[in-house]
């Protein structure tokens, strides 16, 4: 959208994105409590230590917290990320990763959540004893995700040959520690990027969230969209696919925000019919206010 290069860039869809680190961190504590992941005793302590006695989006600061608040937030970590739950889809089972020890699993989790913690708390969280042996593998599997099928397929000799992978290069892995170690986070939020894109009147944006994801939860992205201060053109309401509630949508002119009911981080994988209908509406500018019968619209 800048410079002399002309690209036919008309819109974008962002699924379960990390739009704001601080909002994602803060909203996750609300998500966890209201999904029953921890009890009232801890919630009451959070209210006192992190929220000046009044719990609200505006008064609570769980992100980058220290002192007693930091201790409380760390306890929330344990429930959300280290109790055996699937952080990418709360209501799906957690597939074990046999090559990843429990201590290494904890370190992996902590390096990917609550990124804006103050250094004191980060040091205390990350310096717990890690007993897993060093691995020559390129990366480790994200917690609870079974990537056996794609790993086996992409490491087949004929597939590597077809993809022109040079001999001697490491085996493919779903995540790469080496790449991650070289990556520097430049932005803590995406407000300026969204505002820049929305200056172009013909540019449309879809922000969607599977509503059971805890890695990038729906509430944080909803708060982010609210923070853009856009004019509402369609108030928040359910939308339907074949008579069933597929999610809840709120439109702001060029930008549409929607949840996908029951889906986790990978919406097209876990809610394919709802995802198909959502993209059909977005790409062809069809209203979310109308129900979509997939059999009539797309497969007849």
- Buried/exposed code over 139-161 (b: 16+ C-beta within 10 A; e: otherwise): bbbbbbbebeeeeeebeeeeebe
Across residues 43-64, what is the average pLDDT?
94
The span from the CA of 300 to the CA of 90, in Å, is 35
The span from the CA of 146 to the CA of 208, in Å, is 23
User: Is residue 124 predicted with pLDDT exceeding 80?
Assistant: no
What is this structure's pTM? 0.82
Q: What is the pLDDT of residue 134?
A: 40
Please, what are the domains in the chain?
A: 21-145 (no CATH), 191-297 (3.40.50.12670)
Tokens at 224, concatenated? 């982010």
Q: Tell me the HSE value of 137 on the side-chain side, using a 13 A CA sphere.
A: 15
Q: Place 116 in a pLDDT band, splitting at 50, 70 and 90.
A: low
Q: Place 139 in a pLDDT band, splitting at 50, 70 and 90.
A: low
Q: What is the pLDDT of residue 179?
A: 80
User: Is residue 101 predicted with pLDDT exceeding 80?
Assistant: no
Residues 6+ apart with CB under 8 A from 25: 62, 63, 64, 113, 114, 115, 116, 220
Across residues 236-256, what is the average pLDDT?
96
User: Is residue 7 predicted with pLDDT exceeding 90?
Assistant: no
For 54-58, 64-68, 79-83, 226-230, which range has the lowest pLDDT when averaged over its residues?
64-68
Q: What is the pLDDT of residue 63?
A: 86
The span from the CA of 256 to the CA of 288, in Å, is 9
Of the two residues 25 and 98, the one the predictor is more confident about is: 25
What DSSP designation does 295 have?
H
Residues 6+ apart with CB under 8 A from 292: 240, 241, 242, 277, 280, 281, 286
Angle in degrees, CA 254, 257, 258, rounded to 5: 140
- 87: three-class secondary structure by DSSP: coil
Of the two residues 234 and 116, the one the predictor is more confident about is: 234
The span from the CA of 85 to the CA of 82, in Å, is 7
Instruction: For residue range 68-87, list pLDDT tens digits in order.
Output: 999 999 999 899 988 999 99
User: Is residue 221 predicted with pLDDT exceeding 50?
Assistant: yes
Across residues 23-38, what is the average pLDDT?
97
* DSSP string for 114-182: -TT--HHHHHHHHTS---PPP--SS--PPTB---HHHHHHHTSHHHHHHTTPPTTSPPP-SS-HHHHHH
Percent of the chain with pLDDT over 70: 80
Which residues, listed in sequence order, are joined to residue 248 by a DSSP beta bridge?
238
Q: What is the pLDDT of residue 136?
A: 41
Q: What is the pLDDT of residue 20?
A: 97
Mean pLDDT of all residues belonging to the chain? 85
Which residues, listed in sequence order, are joined to residue 95 by a DSSP beta bridge?
144
Instruction: For residue range 154-196, list pLDDT tens digits in order.
Output: 999 999 999 999 999 999 988 877 787 888 889 999 999 999 9
Distinct helix (H) and strand (E) counts, the chain: 13, 5
Task: Give the C-alpha distances (Å, rounded to integers) separating 175 from 78, 136, 151, 178, 199.
Answer: 23, 13, 11, 9, 35
Q: Tell me the HSE value of 88 on the side-chain side, using a 13 A CA sphere.
A: 17
The span from the CA of 29 to the CA of 49, in Å, is 14
Are 139 and 178 within 8 A, CB to CB? yes
Q: What is the pLDDT of residue 290?
A: 67
Question: Which residue reads 């090559």 in tokens?
Answer: 99
Q: What is the pLDDT of residue 146?
A: 84
For 22-36, 94-108, 124-138, 281-295, which range has the lowest pLDDT when averaged over its residues?
124-138
- 74: three-class secondary structure by DSSP: helix
The span from the CA of 114 to the CA of 74, in Å, is 10
Are 6 and 202 within 8 A, CB to CB? no
The span from the CA of 18 to the CA of 30, in Å, is 17
User: Is residue 127 predicted with pLDDT exceeding 50?
Assistant: no
User: Is residue 120 predicted with pLDDT exceeding 60?
Assistant: no
């Amino acid at each position: 959208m800048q410079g002399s290069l002309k690209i036919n860039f008309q819109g974008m869809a962002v699924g379960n994105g990390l739009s704001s680190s601080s909002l994602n961190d803060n909203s996750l504590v609300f998500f966890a409590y209201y999904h029953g992941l921890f009890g009232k005793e801890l919630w009451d302590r959070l209210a006192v230590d992190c929220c000046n006695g009044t719990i609200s989006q505006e008064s609570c600061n769980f992100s980058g917290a220290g002192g007693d608040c930091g201790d409380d937030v760390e306890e929330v970590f344990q429930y959300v990320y280290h109790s055996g739950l699937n952080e990418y889809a709360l209501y799906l089972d957690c597939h074990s990763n046999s090559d990843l020890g429990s201590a290494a699993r904890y370190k992996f989790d902590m390096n990917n959540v609550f990124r804006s913690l103050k250094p004191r708390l980060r040091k205390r969280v990350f310096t717990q004893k890690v007993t897993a042996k060093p691995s020559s593998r390129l990366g480790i599997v994200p917690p609870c995700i079974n990537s056996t099928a794609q790993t086996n397929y992409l490491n087949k000799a004929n597939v590597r040959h077809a993809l022109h992978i040079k001999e001697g290069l490491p085996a493919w892995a779903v995540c790469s520690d080496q790449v991650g170690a070289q990556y520097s986070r430049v932005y803590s939020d995406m407000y300026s990027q969204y505002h820049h894109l929305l200056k172009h009147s013909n540019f449309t944006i879809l922000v969607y969230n599977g509503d059971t994801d805890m890695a990038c939860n729906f509430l944080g992205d909803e708060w982010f969209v609210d923070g853009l201060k856009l004019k509402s053109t369609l108030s928040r309401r359910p939308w339907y696919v074949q008579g069933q509630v597929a999610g809840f949508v709120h439109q702001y002119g060029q930008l549409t925000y929607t949840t996908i009911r029951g889906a986790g981080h990978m919406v097209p994988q876990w809610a394919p019919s709802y995802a198909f209908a959502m993209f059909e509406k977005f790409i062809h500018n069809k209203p979310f206010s109308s129900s979509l019968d997939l059999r009539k619209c797309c497969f007849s």
